[in-house]
A and B are shown apart, each in its own frame.
Chain A
Amino acid sequence: MKTQTLFLHLSPLLIPYVSLFCAGVVLAAVQSVGLWSPVPLPSGLGAAYTRLWSSPWFYEMFGFSLYVAFVSALLATGGGTLLACGIWGMPALLRRMSVIYKATLILPHIAIGFIVLVFCSQTGVLASLARLVGMITLPVQFPNILYGGNGFGLILAYTYKEIPFAILMVLGLLAGFDRRLFDCARMLGASRVRIFFCILVPSIAPAMHSAFIILFLYAFGAFDIPYLLGESKPAMLSIEVYNLYFKRDLTNRPLALAMLMLMFCFSVLFIMIYSRVVSSLTARERKL
C-alpha cells in the first residue's frame, strides 16, 4: 500500500488524535511554562517548574499518589487474577452465573466511593457489625479507615472498583487456555501452587501486565474518587491540580498545568520502562 493511501486510511483517527489529543497536551505544556496566561504573571517563564522542584509538598503528594496507585493496582491485579482462576475452574452453570462480578464494572467511580463511604465510615455498615459482635461500643472506636491519613479509603475504593476489571482481562485470556495442560501437569504430580505459578501465571501474564499498567496509571491520575472521599492531607496530585486551577487566583494556573505535565511525562516514562522490562524478562524466559 502506498504511503499516501495509508495516511488517507488512517486519517479518521490521526486527524482528531493530532488536533485534539496532541494539541491538548501541547497547550497544557505551553501554559505550564507561563505563556498565554490570561493574567500577567509575576514570575518569568518556567517559574512553575522551579517552584515545584523546590516544594516539599509536591514530592509528598507525588509519593502519596504513587503509593495509593501502586498498592491498589497490585491488590486489584492479584485479587482479580485469583478470582478469575477460581471462576474459570467452576462448573459451566456457576461460571455463567459469575457474570455478577460485572455489577461493579457498571457503577461509576463516584458510586464506588459512595459504597465505600457507606460501609467503612465510623458509623457505617461494618461499624454496626463490629458493634453487634461486641468489638466496639462507640463509633470512634472503629478504625478510622477513610480519614486516617494513610490513604486506606482510597486504596479500598480503587481496589474494589478495579478487581472486576482485572477479572475481565484475565478471564479473556483464560478462555483460550488449553485445560489439558492443566490435567497433564496434575498427572505428572505437580502441586496446585506449582501449577498456578508455572503453568497458569505465565500464560495469563500479558493480561496481568496490561491490567496493572492501566489500573496503576488510572489511579495515579484520576480525580473522581479522591474528590468524593476527600482526604485533604496528604492529598492526591489530581485534587491539588484542581484546587490550584479552579479555586485559587489565575496566577496559579501554570503551577497546576506544570503538575499535570509532570504527571503526563511520568506516565509515558512508566509505560515505556514497564514494557521494556516485561519484554526483556519474557525474552530471558524463552531462552531458558
Chain B
Amino acid sequence: MKHAVLFGFLLLLFVFPLFVLVGYALDPAWRYPQLFPDHIDFRSLSFLVREAGPLSRHMGGALLYSLSAVVTTLVMCYVPARILARVPFSGRNLLEGFLLAPALVPPMTFAMGLHFMFIKIGLADTLPGVILVVSMYSYPYMLRALIAGFQATGDDYVLCAENLGAGRWTRLIRIEFPMLVPSIMAGGSVVFLVAFSEYFLVFLIGGGAVPSFTGYLFPLLSSSDRSLGSALTLVFVFVPLMLFVMMEWFVGRAYRRMGLDV
C-alpha cells in the first residue's frame, strides 16, 4: 500500500505534467478556468505537419551536434580515463578535480571568452565550433563514467588476452572496449542529454546559423500559445526517448550475440 502511494506520487510528479501537455496540444482552446480539455482540435498538430521541413532541420541539427559531442568526448576521454583509473602518479586526484571542473563552474565564463577566440579564428557560427564548446562543457560526465568503468572492470582480462598473444588492437577492440560499453552508454547518454537540451551555449557560439531544436523551441515556449509549446515539448521528449530505447535494444542484442548476459 505504502509503495503504491509512493509510486502514485512519482506518477503525479513526473508523468502527469506530460499528460497535461498532451491536453494542451490537442485542445488549443483549453484555458482557465476549465479543469479539463473538452474538445479536440488538430490546429497544433497540423502546424507540426506543415512545419515538418524546418522542424526536422532543427531536430536533425541538434541530433547531429549532440551525437558528435558524444563521439568527441569519447575520443577525448578514453585513453586519459584509463590512465587516471589505473596508473598511480602524484597529484592524480588534483588533476582529476581540475579536469572535472568544466561541468561545475558556470559555462558562460569560458564560453564567452571562447566566443571571442572563435570569432577571430572563424569557428563562431559554425557546426564544429558548437560541437567543440558543447563537448568542452559535457566531457566530465564521460570522463567520470569511463574512469568508474575502468576501475570496475580491472585489467585482468586484458592481461590474460596479452598472455595468450593478442595484439594491442585486438585487446582494445575485442576485450577492453566491449567491457566498457555499459560505462560508455551511461556517460554518452548524459553527454547527449546535456548537449541536446543546451540552449545558451549553442545560441552563443552557433549564433542562429547552426540549427538547434532548443533554439527553435524557445520563442514558442515564451509566446502565449501554450498549445504549440506543448506539442513541440512532447516532440522533444519523444525523440531522445526513442533513441534510448533503440540503443538499449541494439546493445542488448549485441551482448546476447557475444554470449554475454546484461
A interface residues, Cβ below 8 angstroms from B: 1, 6, 9-10, 12-14, 16-17, 20-21, 23-31, 36, 83, 86-87, 89-91, 94, 97-98, 100-111, 113-115, 117-119, 123-125, 127-129, 131-132, 139, 163-164, 213-214, 217, 220-224, 227-228, 230, 238, 241, 245, 256-257, 260-261, 263-264, 267-268, 271
Distance from B116 Cβ to chain A, minimum over Cβ atoms (Å) = 5
B260 within 8 A of A: no
Q: Contacts of A129 on B, CB cut-off 8 Å? A: 35
Distance from A230 Cβ to chain B, minimum over Cβ atoms (Å) = 8
A89-B3, A260-B112, A263-B106 given; A109·B75 CB < 8 A: no
Which of A25, A106, A257, A268 gathers most chain B CB within 10 Å? A106
The reply to whether A118 and B32 form a contact with Cβ atoms under 8 Å apart is no
Q: Contacts of B217 on A, CB cut-off 8 Å? A: 108, 110-111
**What 7 new A-B contacts, CB under 8 Å, besides A9-B82, A264-B106?**
A10-B79, A23-B113, A24-B109, A36-B116, A101-B14, A103-B237, A108-B197
Q: Contacts of A224 on B, CB cut-off 8 Å? A: 199-200
B193 within 8 A of A: yes
A107-B236, A111-B217, A221-B107 given; A21·B136 CB < 8 A: yes
The reply to whether B17 and A228 form a contact with Cβ atoms under 8 Å apart is no
The reply to whether B102 and A21 form a contact with Cβ atoms under 8 Å apart is yes
A12-B80, A118-B24, A228-B221 given; A90·B199 CB < 8 A: no
Q: Which A residue's beta carbon lies closest to that of B200?
A: A223
B209 within 8 A of A: no
The reply to whether A86 and B6 form a contact with Cβ atoms under 8 Å apart is yes
6 A-B residue pairings within 8 Å (CB atoms): A9-B80, A13-B77, A90-B3, A103-B237, A110-B221, A164-B14
Q: Which A residue's beta carbon lies closest to that of B3?
A: A90
Total residues of chain B contacting the partner, CB 8 A: 74
Q: Contacts of A87 on B, CB cut-off 8 Å? A: 6, 10
The one of A10, A104, A132 that contacts B14, using a Cβ cutoff of 8 Å: A104
Q: How far is the CA of A21 from the CA of B80 in the complex (A)?
A: 17
Q: Which A residue's beta carbon lies closest to that of B194?
A: A108
The reply to whether B199 and A217 form a contact with Cβ atoms under 8 Å apart is no
The reply to whether A1 and B89 form a contact with Cβ atoms under 8 Å apart is yes
A21-B110, A132-B35, A228-B221 given; A119·B193 CB < 8 A: no
Distance from B236 Cβ to chain A, minimum over Cβ atoms (Å) = 6
Q: Which A residue's beta carbon lies closest to that of B148?
A: A172
The reply to whether A221 and B83 form a contact with Cβ atoms under 8 Å apart is no
The reply to whether A16 and B136 form a contact with Cβ atoms under 8 Å apart is yes
